[in-house]
């Protein structure tokens, strides 16, 4: 059985996808970009967009009764290779150790510098 998860605080794009889907013990959060949730406009540079992506993910997970500590897998798309160091710095400030498994790829994202999707495990937090 699956459950659709939607947050009123996360950006709502007019595209055919859900904010997240719970399937058993896992919650799959759709890719989030660094936009203001109200205007859907990209904000600032890579640091600001990374922080906003993670905030968007956090409010979606909260709607599912979870937190950032429940994340077990992260997939990140960056538009520019030169943004990787700044992304890693912000990521390490907001996602605490022990860190989830992660992959970072470089993709054409149009006006966005970053997109992050995550998989969370509901029964426990990382390291428990």
pLDDT (mean) for 8-21: 94
What the block records as the tokens of 94 is 């907001």
Residue 63 has pLDDT above 90, yes or no: yes
How far apart, in whole angstroms, are the C-alpha atoms of residue 105 and residue 75?
8
How far apart, in whole angstroms, are the C-alpha atoms of residue 87 and residue 81?
10
| Confidence (pLDDT) at 128 | 80
Q: Residue holding tokens 């992506």?
A: 53
How far apart, in whole angstroms, are the C-alpha atoms of residue 83 and residue 12?
26
User: Global pTM?
Assistant: 0.94
How far apart, in whole angstroms, are the C-alpha atoms of residue 110 and residue 6?
25
Per CATH, the architecture of 2-121 is what?
A: 2-Layer Sandwich (3.30)
Residue 120 has pLDDT above 90, yes or no: yes
Q: What is the band of 127 on the pLDDT scale with cuts at 50, 70, 90?
A: confident
Residue 1 has pLDDT above 90, yes or no: no
Task: For residue 95, give the nearest of 124, 62, 118, 113 by alpha carbon.
Answer: 118
| Confidence (pLDDT) at 22 | 97
Percentage of residues of the chain with pLDDT beyond 90 = 91
pLDDT (mean) for 72-81: 97
pLDDT (mean) for 103-107: 95
Task: Tell me the longest C-alpha to C-alpha distance in the chain.
Answer: 42
The alpha carbon of residue 59 and the mean position of all alpha carbons in its chain are separated, in whole angstroms, by 10
């Amino acid at each position: 059985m699956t459950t659709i998860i939607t947050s009123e605080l996360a950006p709502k794009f007019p595209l055919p996808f859900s904010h997240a889907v719970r399937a058993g013990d896992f919650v799959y959060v759709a890719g989030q970009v660094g936009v203001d949730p109200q205007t859907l406009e990209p904000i600032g540079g890579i640091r600001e967009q990374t922080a906003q992506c993670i905030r968007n993910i956090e409010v979606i997970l909260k709607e599912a009764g979870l937190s950032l500590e429940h994340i077990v897998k992260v997939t990140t798309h960056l538009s520019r290779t030169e943004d990787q160091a700044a992304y890693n710095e912000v990521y390490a400030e907001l996602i605490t150790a022990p860190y989830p498994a992660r992959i970072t790829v470089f993709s054409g994202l149009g006006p966005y510098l970053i997109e992050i999707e995550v998989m969370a495990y509901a029964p426990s937090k990382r390291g428990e």
